[in-house]
């Protein structure tokens, strides 16, 4: 499996002086699609590079603050991310933006949708709002949610102590079914994936720890209030509970008009195995909920 390097790379300076690092694939004048990457992975790992040109898509991946080459923003929130992307898009002349969130990037795409920064969104094997799922969560995730609720600073510090590219890779492999391992263990893909994780940790563990703390916290927006088209994509063979314990069923009921796709022969790697279908859903978005 080939994982091409980005076609274009750059840094965009925000009004407060921070820089957001970005990469792009596809036509520079194509339909702009923002990729919010998974946990601790950088802008360098895209998807669908073999179809973006044919679909007329300009795929843009942006490192979250403190990850990859984006400047840190201690205490950042999901709402701050939406504000950063709104400024980033305006500064780069993008007046219509779709968003894709993979795994831990799912809430970031939904934050952009909730704020109206993204006119449509797709969540792929995306993390649910764990803090509202209660007993539906596996015990280890429930313990993390409880730890963040009890003492956010201490919990975030503990996440920083765990985080590393190797630890995260081992966790991914341990919780992946054979259908995903066939993707992850492909030599080219593994090399690109692990490079993106090493890049994600280039500034240390603080960015990963903040991402994890936000994943275990209440979202600063209500999923029920999202009014742009949203597609939710999950693989029936996915065995990672950190994606969604019910394959996004609860989340799909909370977002008005959301289209829920449960792909029977896919696992958590469907961002790469079903890239064309996911991107086409953004070109033919779901109707907006009432």
Asked if residues 43 and 7 have their Cβ atoms less than 8 Å apart, the reply is no
User: Quick one: pLDDT band at residue 289, thresholds 50, 70, 90?
Assistant: very low
- Residue 290, pLDDT above cutoff 80: no
Percent of the chain with pLDDT over 70: 98
Provide, for the chain, the percentages of residues in helix, strand and coil under a 3-state DSSP scheme, each rounded to the nearest 5: 40, 15, 40
The pLDDT tens digits of the residues spanning 178-229 come to 999 999 999 999 999 999 999 999 999 999 999 999 999 999 999 999 999 9
What is the SS3 string spanning 146-173?
Answer: HHHHHCHHHHHHHHHHHCCHHHHHHHHH
Average pLDDT of every residue of the chain: 95
3-state secondary structure (DSSP) of residue 124:
strand
User: Quick one: pLDDT band at residue 1, thresholds 50, 70, 90?
Assistant: low
The pLDDT tens digits of the residues spanning 14-61 come to 999 999 999 999 999 999 999 999 999 999 999 999 999 999 999 999
The pLDDT tens digits of the residues spanning 109-140 come to 999 999 999 999 999 999 899 999 989 999 99
Residue 286 pLDDT: 64
User: Quick one: pLDDT band at residue 108, thresholds 50, 70, 90?
Assistant: very high
Whether this prediction's pTM lies above 0.75 is answered by yes
**How many helical (H) and strand (E) elements, i.e. helices and strands, does the chain have?**
12, 8
Percent of the chain with pLDDT over 90: 92
Q: What number is the average pLDDT over the span 267-278?
A: 97
- Residue 253, pLDDT above cutoff 50: yes
- Residue 2, pLDDT above cutoff 60: yes
- Per-residue DSSP letter, 29: T
Residue 241 pLDDT: 84
- Residue 242, pLDDT above cutoff 70: yes
Q: How far apart are the first and last CA of the chain?
A: 41
Q: What number is the average pLDDT over the span 81-90?
A: 98
User: Quick one: pLDDT band at residue 162, thresholds 50, 70, 90?
Assistant: confident
For domain 8-283, say whether CATH 3.40.50.1820 is its number.
yes
Burial 165-185 (b: 16+ CB within 10 A, else e): beebbeebeeebbebbeebbe
- Residue 288, pLDDT above cutoff 90: no
Select from 58, 28, 16, 36 the least CA-distant residue to 113.
36
């Amino acid at each position: 499996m080939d994982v091409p390097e980005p076609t274009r790379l750059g840094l965009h300076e925000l009004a407060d002086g921070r820089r957001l690092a970005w990469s792009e694939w596809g036509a520079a004048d194509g339909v702009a699609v923002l990729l919010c990457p998974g946990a601790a992975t950088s802008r360098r790992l895209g998807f669908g590079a073999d179809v973006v040109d044919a679909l007329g898509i300009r795929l843009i991946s942006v490192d979250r603050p403190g990850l990859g080459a984006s400047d840190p923003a201690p205490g950042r929130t999901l709402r701050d991310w939406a504000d950063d992307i709104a400024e980033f898009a305006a500064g780069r002349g993008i007046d219509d933006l779709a968003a894709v969130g993979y795994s831990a990037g799912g809430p970031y795409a939904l934050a952009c949708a909730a704020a109206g920064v993204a006119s449509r969104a797709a969540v792929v094997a995306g993390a649910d709002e764990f803090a509202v799922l209660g007993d539906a969560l596996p015990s280890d995730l429930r313990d993390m949610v409880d730890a963040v609720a009890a003492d956010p600073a201490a919990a975030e510090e503990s996440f920083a102590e765990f985080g590393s590219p190797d630890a995260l890779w081992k966790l991914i492999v341990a919780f992946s079914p054979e259908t995903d391992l066939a993707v992850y263990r492909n030599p080219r893909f593994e090399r690109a994936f692990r490079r993106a994780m090493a890049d994600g940790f280039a500034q240390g563990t603080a960015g990963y720890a903040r991402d994890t703390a936000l994943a275990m916290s209440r979202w600063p927006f209500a999923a029920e209030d999202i009014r742009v088209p949203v597609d939710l994509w999950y693989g029936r063979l996915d065995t990672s509970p950190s994606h969604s314990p019910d394959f996004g069923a609860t989340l799909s009921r909370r977002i008005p008009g959301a289209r829920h796709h449960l792909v029977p022969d896919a696992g958590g790697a469907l961002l790469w195995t079903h890239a064309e279908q996911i991107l086409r859903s953004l070109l033919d978005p779901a109707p907006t909920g009432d």
